[in-house]
């Protein structure tokens, strides 16, 4: 088996896409669903750490981590070892019908490391959308209510239930008929292009809370009919938007006053990405139901819905998944948590602070950068025609993303006009410097 040359920075050897990549792209166009969203023709052969190698031998610095999945980078030796060991024992038996110690071990660990000192239960699935579906069913079943409040810019999945919550791009809903669930969307606490009038000195977080209480509860969703408020502590697909510190505590207060469940979606923001194990920890709030996926499986499909024990008291057969809690994925997940706790989260915090400092220095010199925001290594850069970010510059953002790829840097867009940086949490200063310098060069060339 050929392995990647262990380097820390990229090297582009061919025109992109290269000849082998072109061949695969042609076959892909013939056989694969056109619904996938590919920004550029990266055809991956293998990876190591934060480096990807394509089928033509070009290497790239990965600052997307498979959309925030590869928290420890690619082919981490400890993750590879536990996957191989578990595969030799057994790959599948279905934890919905039989018992095995892996499911219990991860559940015990997650109950220990998630916010809230109350009793909790865990339900396993295979993805973020499935974890969210379980959360929605838990809320409806336990409260006897069937209405939800979610946020504009949110992304919670594309299944019919979660699509009712998702409000980040119209294309994700177009062609699929009416919403399956009764969901009312309100503005997220994002100071950029905030649509509500505020009182003097009123934060956007408190204004959203006032809008829910004084407008939505009175005109659209009575609080006694609302099963849950569903929120990402840091919006992902919406643009890597960090809300003000008072926003999530205000949602917690509203939920407590009206018996509403607070569902927190940590699918993209969790597992150390923000410098803490869970993004919600930055805000001092304990959710009633918490959803996890992406990095929790160490690169393998795994979804987790963790809820207060008094909410997850449904009857036998109410909800289950044949593959949920797969033993190989759980083995990778347990090892990922172990490695994160050995200094990787601190590296995410340190490298994130360093990267944002460098990006903010760029902001001072380059007018299309309207805002740099983030926590840890979950960083968004807003690209706009004006400094107030009132005129999003989507076309320039897209050019930057593609040009970075051509220079060997893998990044993605998010929201209407943001660039997102979500590298493996193991990146070092040299790699951060390359990413920022490459982003700067791409931006300067795109605006000539």
Average confidence (pLDDT) per 10 residues, the chain, 448 residues? 68 97 97 95 97 97 97 97 98 94 97 98 98 98 98 96 93 90 97 95 97 98 98 97 98 98 98 98 98 97 98 96 96 98 97 98 97 98 95 97 98 97 98 98 96
Give the pLDDT score at 3.
52
Contacting residues for 108 by C-beta, under 8 A, at least 6 apart? none
d(CA 157, CA 142): 22
Question: Vertex 12, ends 6 and 17: CA angle to 5°?
Answer: 120
59: closest CA among 141, 3, 115?
A: 3
Q: Which helix (H) or strand (E) holds 265?
A: strand 261-265
d(CA 288, CA 311): 8
234: closest CA among 320, 142, 154?
A: 154
- Quick one: residue 270, left, alpha or beta (phi over 0 = left, psi -120 to 50 = alpha)? beta
d(CA 143, CA 246): 26
For 93-325, which CATH class? alpha beta
Residue 330 in contact with residue 349, Cβ under 8 Å? Answer: no
Q: Is 23 helix (H, G, I), strand (E, B) or coil?
A: helix
Residue 240 in contact with residue 414, Cβ under 8 Å? Answer: yes
Q: Where are the domains of the chain?
A: 19-75+344-446, 93-325
Positive or negative torsion for Cα 79, 80, 85, 88: positive
d(CA 166, CA 75): 32
240: closest CA among 270, 269, 278?
A: 269
Residue 436 in contact with residue 358, Cβ under 8 Å? Answer: yes
Q: Which CATH number fits domain 19-75+344-446: 3.40.718.10, 3.40.630.30, 3.40.50.1220, 3.90.1150.10?
A: 3.90.1150.10
d(CA 84, CA 102): 15
DSSP track, 111-153? HHHSS-SS-EEEEEESSHHHHHHHHHHHHHHHHS--EEEEETT
Q: Is 434 helix (H, G, I), strand (E, B) or coil?
A: helix
d(CA 438, CA 404): 6
d(CA 162, CA 346): 33
Give the pLDDT score at 5.
57
Residue 334 in contact with residue 298, Cβ under 8 Å? Answer: no
Residue 267 in contact with residue 274, Cβ under 8 Å? Answer: no
d(CA 237, CA 163): 13
d(CA 138, CA 95): 19
Give the pLDDT score at 8.
87
d(CA 66, CA 299): 9
CA 348 to chain centre: 15
Burial class (CB in 10 A: 0-12, 13-18, 19+), 191: middle
Contacting residues for 35 by C-beta, under 8 A, at least 6 apart? none
Give the pLDDT score at 2.
52
Residue 384 in contact with residue 372, Cβ under 8 Å? Answer: no
């Amino acid at each position: 088996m050929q392995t990647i040359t262990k380097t820390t920075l990229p090297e582009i050897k061919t025109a992109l896409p290269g000849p082998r990549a072109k061949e695969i792209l042609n076959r892909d166009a013939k056989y694969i669903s056109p619904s996938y969203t590919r920004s550029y023709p990266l055809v991956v052969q293998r990876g190591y750490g934060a480096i990807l190698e394509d089928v033509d031998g070009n290497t790239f610095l990965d600052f997307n981590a498979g959309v925030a999945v590869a928290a420890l980078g690619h082919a981490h030796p400890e993750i590879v070892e536990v996957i191989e060991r578990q595969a030799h024992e057994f790959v599948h038996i279905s934890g919905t019908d039989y018992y095995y110690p892996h499911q219990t071990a991860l559940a015990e660990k997650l109950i220990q490391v998630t916010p809230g000192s109350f009793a909790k239960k865990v339900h396993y699935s295979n993805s973020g959308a499935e974890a969210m579906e379980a959360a929605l069913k838990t809320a409806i079943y336990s409260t006897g209510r069937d209405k939800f409040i979610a946020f504009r810019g949110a992304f919670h999945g594309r299944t019919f239930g979660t699509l009712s919550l998702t409000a980040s791009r119209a294309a994700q809903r177009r062609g699929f008929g009416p919403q399956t669930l009764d969901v009312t969307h309100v503005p997220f606490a994002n100071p950029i292009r905030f649509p509500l009038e505020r009182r003097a000195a009123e934060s956007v977080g408190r204004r959203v809370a006032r809008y829910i209480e004084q407008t939505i509860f009175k005109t659209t969703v009575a609080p006694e009919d609302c099963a849950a408020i569903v929120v990402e502590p840091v919006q992902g697909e919406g643009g890597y938007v960090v809300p003000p510190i008072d926003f999530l505590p205000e949602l917690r207060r509203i939920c407590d006053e009206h018996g509403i469940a607070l569902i927190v979606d940590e699918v993209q923001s969790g597992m150390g990405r923000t410098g803490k194990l869970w993004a919600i920890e930055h805000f001092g709030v304990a959710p009633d139901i918490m959803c996890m996926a992406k990095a929790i499986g160490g690169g393998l499909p795994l979804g987790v819905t963790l809820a207060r024990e008094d909410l997850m008291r449904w009857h036998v057969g109410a909800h289950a998944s044949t593959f949920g809690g797969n033993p190989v994925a759980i083995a990778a997940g347990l090892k990922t948590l172990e490695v994160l706790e050995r200094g990787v989260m601190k590296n995410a915090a340190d490298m994130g602070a360093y990267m944002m400092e460098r990006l903010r220095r760029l902001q001072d010199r380059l007018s299309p950068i309207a805002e740099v925001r983030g926590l840890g290594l979950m960083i968004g850069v807003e690209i706009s025609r004006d400094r107030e970010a009132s005129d999003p510059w989507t076309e320039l953002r897209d050019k930057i993303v593609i040009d970075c790829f051509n220079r060997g840097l893998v990044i993605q867009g998010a929201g209407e006009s943001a660039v997102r940086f979500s590298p493996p949490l193991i990146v070092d200063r040299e790699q951060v410097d390359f990413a920022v310098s490459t982003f700067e060069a791409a931006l300067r060339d795109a605006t000539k």
